Amino acid sequence: MHIKTLILIIINSLIALVIALLSFSSYQQFSNVLNNRILLQLNSIKTLKQNQIEHVLKSEWERFETSEVYSQNIDTTVLKLPDSIKNKSGIYDLTAYHVDKKTTIGFISNSKRGTMIKVFDYNKIKQILLERTGMGDSGESYLVGTDFRMRSQSRFYPNKTPYSILVKTKGVTNALKGINSKSIFKDYRGVDVYSVNSLIAVKNLKMVILSEIDVNEVTLPLKELKERLLGLTLAIFLLAVMLSLFLTRIISNPIKNMQKSLRIMAEGDYNQTNEFIKNSKEIKEMFDALANLKASLQGAVKFSDDIGKMNLHTNFKPKSSNDQLGKSLLAMRDKLIEFRNNEENTRILSKRMLVNGMEDERRRLSRELHDGVGPYLTSLKHYIENRVKNELKKAEMKKIVDDTISEIRLMSNALMPASIDDFGIGVTLTNFIESLKKSTTVTIEYEDLTQQENSNITNHQAINLFRISQELINNSLKHADAKNIRITLSEFDEFISLFYFDDGIGFDINTVKLGLGIINIKERVEICNGTITIHATPGNTTFEIELPIEL
């Protein structure tokens, strides 16, 4: 389920519940109050009328009793009284005996002087009953006889004889039992009414007085209230829905955006630069956290990218001690550095072995020429000295042999001077340069500052320094058009420094194509764990080579 729907449902059902509860309770309260008010009002009206009626009857009765006029002042054509009634004095409801069943209340007095009968003027009661102040449109007060027939004119059936209307309602029944009830009953029309009632009992007269008002009329404002409440409820509900829609948008939009961002990130793209509306502190913090996450992932991605390109000296700091990704990447980098170092070592080692093998071979060849072929040639010379008698031929042959020996010496020295093994690099370079001076016009000055005794330069370093010097001099003579070459070889406690200078035309270090010369020199420096610095400007080309003293 979407978070939007969820929030909508929760908020709105809550609001709806509250409104419904409030409306219901206020409506209930209001209707209760109204009921009570109405019933109280009806009751007071009824009581007033009851009192008035009783008072009228009583005062009429007293007047009748004290009256001196003995007459049976009744129209016997309409009123047919049975004798049994005449025997007892009192007030009677004589309606049942009236021919037209017109409501008739009669006073009967039985004394020594005879029977007195008087029909009470019903209009007096009628006036009381017709007084309808505070009864609204549908209110009425009426009387009912003990036979449950109406005694006063109904407002609703003005053309019907009251006696013909049967009022067997709960109110009447209660009243006849002597219970003054006030409640909502159905009246004689079958309509719900607020009804209060009580029994009027004066002398022998028993009648029930009821004051009633239609529920419909009373509850009209209640209905209006109900409608208004409904309308209000609806309006509030609509407002609530709109508000909650707005609210959910505030909450769910950032969440949706975040979801989108996270999805993009999950696909491996950490470079998205979507701007989001941050409408609250929490959401701002959430996006800051997302930005942090993104930054850290971007850092990790960049770092792993660098690692992938073997830029192993890239700096990277894990975001925290819990940054497993960062830590793994670091571990990976360290492993790669280790691998690369191992590879580098292996590479240098194999190169060194290759160079050493080559130099050993050169040495062997050089010695073979110098100490093998050389002595044979000297033996040949001895032979010539001993055996050739012709002096001219002898001299000629001796010269050829001597020249050959010289050539052998040159070849041997070029391959690998024996001095390197017997005297070290300092002296060997001295010899080498001395022999060069004979064949070139370039001024070569060499300064040997190595230790004569107890030199710490290894044979391996010596050979490589010699080869480097050979190569450098060769380059200067062949390509640089130099007039002067200065070489200084210094030995210190910590390092050996070979400084080479020429005043030739120089070269571009990056595009130099002196055969493989420079590359070879660099390689030889590398396999000796040394460093080389090259400055090449016209008139001032220098090579600074440093090798460590390895004890």
What is the contact surface with other proteins in residues (CB under 8 A)?
370-371, 374-379, 381-383, 385-386, 398, 401-402, 405, 409, 417-419, 422-423, 427, 430-431, 434, 445-449, 452, 486-488, 490, 492, 494-495, 497, 499, 501, 533, 544, 546
> Nearer to other proteins by C-beta: 47 or 490?
490
431 vs 360, 410, 424, 483, 496, CA distance in Å? 21, 12, 11, 20, 19
Q: In angstroms, what is the minimal distance from the CB of 534 to other proteins?
A: 12
Q: In angstroms, what is the minimal distance from the CB of 367 to other proteins?
A: 8
Q: Which two tokens stand for residue 138?
A: 């549908």
Element of type H or E holding 472:
helix 459-475
Q: In angstroms, what is the minimal distance from the CB of 523 to other proteins?
A: 20
> Nearer to other proteins by C-beta: 386 or 511?
386
Q: Which of 526, 528, 523, 477 is nearest to 500 (CA)?
A: 477
Q: In angstroms, what is the minimal distance from the CB of 264 to other proteins?
A: 55
Backbone angles phi, psi at 499, to 5 degrees: -110, 125
> Nearer to other proteins by C-beta: 91 or 369?
369
CA angle 87/88/91 to nearest 5° reads: 130
* Close Cβ partners of 298 (under 8 Å, ≥ 6 residues apart): 270, 271
Which residues partner with 484 through β-bridges?
A: 443
> Nearer to other proteins by C-beta: 344 or 447?
447
Q: Which of 86, 160, 142, 125 is nearest to 94 (CA)?
A: 86
Q: In angstroms, what is the minimal distance from the CB of 441 to other proteins?
A: 19
Q: For 412-438, give one letter per residue: b (16+ CB within 10 A) or e.
A: bbebbbbbbeebbbbbbbbebbeebee
Q: In angstroms, what is the minimal distance from the CB of 409 to other proteins?
A: 6
Backbone angles phi, psi at 368, to 5 degrees: -60, -45
> Nearer to other proteins by C-beta: 86 or 486?
486
245 vs 251, 255, 279, 286, 427, CA distance in Å? 10, 15, 15, 22, 96
Q: Which two tokens stand for residue 420?
A: 């390197």
Q: In angstroms, what is the minimal distance from the CB of 456 to other proteins?
A: 14
Backbone angles phi, psi at 536, to 5 degrees: -130, 95
Q: In angstroms, what is the minimal distance from the CB of 359 to other proteins?
A: 19
CA distance 472 to 524: 12
What 8-state DSSP symbol labels residue 317?
-
> Nearer to other proteins by C-beta: 83 or 494?
494
> Nearer to other proteins by C-beta: 246 or 376?
376
What is the end-to-end Cα distance of the chain in Å, rounded? 77
> Nearer to other proteins by C-beta: 153 or 413?
413
CA distance 307 to 333: 6
Q: In angstroms, what is the minimal distance from the CB of 444 to other proteins?
A: 12
Q: In angstroms, what is the minimal distance from the CB of 486 to other proteins?
A: 4
> Nearer to other proteins by C-beta: 157 or 423?
423
> Nearer to other proteins by C-beta: 88 or 399?
399
